[in-house]
Amino acid sequence: MLRRLVLRQALSTSRRYLSERSSRPPLLSKCASFTSQSQDQSTTFIEHSENDRDSPPAPVNMSIDRSGLYNPTEHSHEPTSDSELIKHLKSIIKFRGGPISVAEYMEEVLTNPKAGFYINRDVFGAEGDFITSPEVSQMFGEMIGVWTMCLWEQMGQPNKVNLVELGPGRGTLMADLLRGASKFKNFTDALNIRMVECSPTLQKLQYSNLKCMDEDSTSENGIKRTISMLAGAPISWHASLDQVPSGCPTIILAHEFYDALPVHQFQRASHGWCEKMIDVTDDSSFRFVLSPRPTPASLYLMKRCKWASSEEIEKLNHIEVCPTAMDLTHAIAKRISSDGGGALIIDYGLNGVVSDSLQAIRKHKFVDILDDPGTADLSAYVDFASIRQSAEEASENVSVHGPITQSQFLGSLGINFRVEALLQNCTEEQADSLRTGYWRLVGEGEAPFWEGPDEQVPIGMGTRYLAMSIVNKRQGVPAPFE
Ligand SMILES: C[S@@+](CC[C@H](N)C(=O)[O-])C[C@H]1O[C@@H](n2cnc3c(N)ncnc32)[C@H](O)[C@@H]1O
């Protein structure tokens, strides 16, 4: 009953909020790209033999140009067209003396501190490579705000709560959440916002979009605070969840974070499951090879297979496992168990073993995973069943709810009321943008009302994206997973 009251109160906040803010302009949607799980990557797999590297080099005929001996020109043995990241990846493979896992490749490509895909630029929106739900419509962040306030209510309205966002992108979700919640002073006064972000460029963008200011004076413990003026709440940045101080009730949001975590890929071969690795060919390009023997990640494969039925595994020739996701979920569950609160994970994925989903997107188009690494996003389907298992294994004090579809999640939280309220006070152009955004968030397939160019038809993310929640059992069942 109390929960329903909070929900209603939060929805009425959303309505009040309408008159104070105009809608954001329309943006291209990334989900238009997600037309199938498995893309044809035209990949050739080569069974890797450890002898490849040990065989003696073929004899080479050399002629020597002596004219430059007194003033030799600078040269490199690497092809000059290689980017810093490609050189780095090749040097890891060279000095390791063998291929690297797909997970190591993915981690370097996305988050290498110097040249990773996310590190030096804004990759979102029409000018970037893809678009996410918070960028599609303000309603997404507002609905996550409703969910967060409901959970805070269920937690007994603690007067201090860590609101952690993992991988906040441009900070748009958090900005919409805070704007929507700004009328609920008790809630916003309790917030300590913690952004877990590896990209310095995105951290700066988040600082700006959340209207942050550094306080002049230092606080009691001698630390200078930064405040988001959207809610008057302190905000800080952390490289990982481990670095967020514990001991305070915690709410964790992870939207499109898990899909960026590095996956290991395994392929069924005549002699059992082999890990797919990445090597460099003689002509200096990347290629996939199969490991000849079990790799350390094979332990995670075995663990994942134990959580599945033999029928589920038997029909697969490829399996992806994400140890980082398992470990992160373990840490989330432990944190929620000790500090109270809950987590919300929204991503595209499956409630079961994921087969062969890793994909690369550049400028809103699929490209080969091995093509010009660092210039395209790499992402993989999230294995929600393994998140459930990891959380339940980590602590008896947490319960796991869902996954339910994004459409069910947003619908039950009242997105229909919100869009109707927004539509009552907007221009024709804003109304078109709202309808398109609404469809993208909750629809399935192509929007039936679309009259614009075929190639821009909005594609619904409503059933492809799933929502799951992990909460401390003290909090009961979180809305809207009842
Ligand atoms: C796909 S984007 C999603 C952004 C945002 N949540 C949204 O929905 O618009 C992934 C985000 O996670 C961050 N990220 C990826 N890997 C990370 C890691 N290992 N540690 C911290 N942040 C990471 C990226 O920089 C980016 O902000």
pLDDT of residue 34: 38
CB-ligand 1 contact for 324 (6 Å cutoff) = no
Q: Which of 137, 243, 253, 257 to mutate to test the pocket of ligand 1 (most atoms within 8 A of CB)?
A: 257
The residues near 241 (Cβ < 8 Å, ≥ 6 apart) are: 164, 166, 196, 252, 328, 331, 332, 335
State residue 114 phi and psi, 5-degree precision: -100, -40
Q: Are strands 161-166 and 191-196 parallel, antiparallel or unpaired?
A: parallel
Q: What b-and-e string marks burial along 132-157, b requiring 16 or more CB atoms within 10 Å of the CB? A: bbbbbbbbbbbbbbbbbbbbbbbbee
CB-ligand 1 contact for 196 (6 Å cutoff) = yes
Q: 116 CA distance to ligand 1 centroid (A)?
A: 12
CB-ligand 1 contact for 415 (6 Å cutoff) = no
For residue 26, give the DSSP letter. P
pLDDT of residue 220: 66
Is 326 within 8 Å of 300 (Cβ atoms)? yes
Beta partners for 161? 191
pLDDT of residue 183: 93
pLDDT of residue 77: 53
R_g of the chain computed on alpha carbons: 24
Joined tokens for residue 380: 């993989």
Q: 74 CA distance to ligand 1 centroid (A)?
A: 39
Reported as type and span, the H/E element at residue 49 is none
* Nearest residue to 86 via CA among 101, 103, 105: 105
Q: 19 CA distance to ligand 1 centroid (A)?
A: 32
Q: 43 CA distance to ligand 1 centroid (A)?
A: 27
CB-ligand 1 contact for 478 (6 Å cutoff) = no
User: Domain 133-261+322-472: which topology?
Assistant: Rossmann fold (3.40.50)
Q: State the CB neighbour count (10 A cutoff) for residue 74.
A: 4
Is 236 within 8 Å of 221 (Cβ atoms)? no
Is 144 within 8 Å of 344 (Cβ atoms)? yes
- Indicate yes or no: pTM above 0.75: yes
CB-ligand 1 contact for 134 (6 Å cutoff) = yes
Domain boundaries, the chain: 133-261+322-472
Return averaged pLDDT per consecutive 10 residues of the chain, 482 residues in all. Answer: 43 38 36 38 42 36 30 45 95 94 98 95 85 95 98 97 98 98 96 98 97 83 88 96 97 98 96 96 94 94 97 97 98 98 98 97 95 96 98 98 98 96 93 94 92 87 97 96 92
CB-ligand 1 contact for 168 (6 Å cutoff) = yes
CB-ligand 1 contact for 257 (6 Å cutoff) = yes
Q: 6 CA distance to ligand 1 centroid (A)?
A: 30
